[in-house]
Amino acid sequence: MEVIIRPDAPAAADLVARILAADLRAKPDLVLGLATGRTMDLLYDRLAQMRLDFSHCHTFNLDEYVGLAPTDPRSYRASMNKALFDRVNINPDHTHVPNGLAPDLDAECLRYENLIAQSGGIDFQLLGIGQSGHIGFNEPLSALQSRTRVKALSPTTAAQNAAFFGGADKVPRRAITMGVGTIMESRRIVLLATGPGKAEIIAQAVEGPITAMISATALQLHRRCVVVVDNAAAAALKEQEYYRWIFDNEPEWEPFRRPSTL
């Protein structure tokens, strides 16, 4: 795992956009795993501005609420359409989000896993992190080898997403989510976290012990995972100086140290 610290949220989102753009240019038929959440708004704005060619790309979103129609503006399908898919040249048939209205949810989870496998697996998985330490909707005690399945949402997550539903009690209680094991099979993972509200959970996820109580700690076992944070989300990390040195000196990051051009 590597941790990269940028001064603020726009700079952190810009770096992730540039990492993703470089991978997409190198492999135009990239299989991209996508995430939702407020943190991703700046990133998707940036990707839309960059006018990248998504025409050969396939995408798989991490999760979807059970019981919400794709047309419901609070669904992750609708928010992805608005935040990204409608703004870039991706083929809508190439964009995949679990169907939270499927009559047989277990069959839907299996279908989703099979679709990922048929696409050749995920090349680049984008992640946010929830206050509970979840990736996707892998709430505390999610098995670190779990696959796509239905998961009950924790009270912490309901509170975090309450604003979208007009109260924590109105947040759907269940979601379909890729499993931790599914996510870990991605060839590359980039997690983006910004703001002071993420400082404590980022410190636990990155520098704490690996535990099923915090599914993001599984990323410590991944061979190619970068955690991109802003100063605020980095505030509780013990080894900040070391992480800053890496971005400022390691050759791998040299192209990304230069000022951004669209």
Residue numbers of the site for ligand GLP (CB under 6 A)?
35-39, 62-63, 128-130, 136-137, 157, 161
Tell me if residue 172 falls in helix, strand or coil: coil
Ranges assigned E (strand) in the chain: 2-6, 31-34, 58-61, 63-65, 95-96, 124-127, 149-152, 174-177, 188-193, 225-230
Compare residues 39 and 81 and give the one whose CB is closer to ligand GLP: 39
Q: How many CB atoms lie within 10 A of CB 76?
A: 26
Contacting residues for 129 by C-beta, under 8 A, at least 6 apart: 135, 191, 193, 198, 201, 202, 205, 216
Compare residues 169 and 241 and give the one whose CB is closer to ligand GLP: 169
CB of 187 to ligand GLP, least distance (A): 19
Strand partners, 221: none
CB of 248 to ligand GLP, least distance (A): 27
Q: Which amino acid is at 135?
A: I
Compare residues 4 and 160 and give the one whose CB is closer to ligand GLP: 160
CB of 63 to ligand GLP, least distance (A): 5
Sign of the alpha-carbon torsion through 195, 200, 201, 204: positive
CB of 175 to ligand GLP, least distance (A): 7
CB of 136 to ligand GLP, least distance (A): 5
Compare residues 53 and 151 and give the one whose CB is closer to ligand GLP: 151
Compare residues 62 and 122 and give the one whose CB is closer to ligand GLP: 62
